[in-house]
Amino acid sequence: MKTNNIFLDDVNLSIIDILINDSSTTFIEIAKQIGISDATVHWRVKRLIAAGIITKFTISVDNNLLGYDHLAFVGINIKPGFADKTTEELCTRDT
């Protein structure tokens, strides 16, 4: 499969699969799992990022262990030109 001028072969797909399961996996560990050099993993990840296939690395946390027993997502519609003022107000308001 070819995407954004990069060929998604078994090696690239394996790298992606490993990083999807744990984005903190080191290039050395990925290389050991796949059977290639860590330099090759590094080069391929850089190309996957440049092609826009990998867009970010992230973490998942246990909110209970952090002391949060509820998780909420809030969407706010802001009129054009008011984003900075709204952000400032939200950050400085008392509860």
- pLDDT score recorded for residue 35: 97
| Structure confidence at residue 93 as a pLDDT band (50, 70, 90) | low
Other Cβ atoms within 10 Å of 27 Cβ, number: 17
- pLDDT score recorded for residue 43: 97
- pLDDT score recorded for residue 69: 85
For 10-61, the pLDDT digits (tens) are 999 999 999 999 999 999 999 999 999 999 999 999 999 999 999 999 888 8
Cα(30)–Cα(73) distance, integer angstroms: 34
User: Class for domain 2-50, per CATH?
Assistant: mainly alpha
Dihedral, CA of residue 6, residue 7, residue 9 and residue 13, to nearest 10: 30
